[in-house]
Amino acid sequence: MIVDVSIDQGGCVETSRPTSHSDPVFVSHGVTHYCVANMPGAYPRTSTLALTTATLPFVERLAASGIDALRADPGFARGVNTIAGFIVCEAVAQALGMQASYREFGAAAQSA
């Protein structure tokens, strides 16, 4: 089973397509898909609590250590799209046609 929570952003897998609450699932290649757009909107309190629980520790680390929190954790740094006027996510630079503005995180972070 695939539950595609980002279908309204283009989807997570090639076989995904938007569905609705009245017809929420379909089978493609033997795999059941649930791709209702804006699923979190159906349960705003629950989704807000889940998102806050997942993201607050990162916000707290940034607040406590600033950019050093990113320098110390390459996984955390991979979540950054821009820093010091540079795009540090190559896929974002490519998607926007702004490869000239792309720098690797480490090089851009030195400017910050």
- pTM to 2 decimals? 0.65
Q: Over range 92-104, report the average pLDDT.
A: 95
CA angle 8, 13, 19 (to 5 degrees): 45
26-62 pLDDT per residue, tens: 999 999 999 999 888 888 999 999 999 999 999 999 9
Residue 12, pLDDT score: 87
Taking the C-alpha atoms of residue 105 and residue 112, their distance in angstroms, rounded to an integer, is 10
Q: How confident is the model at residue 22 (pLDDT cuts 50, 70, 90)?
A: very high
Using the predicted structure, report yes or no on whether residue 101 has a pLDDT greater than 80: yes
Mean of pLDDT over the chain: 93
Q: Are 12 and 6 in contact (CB under 8 A)?
A: yes
Look up tokens 């569905």; give the residue. 19
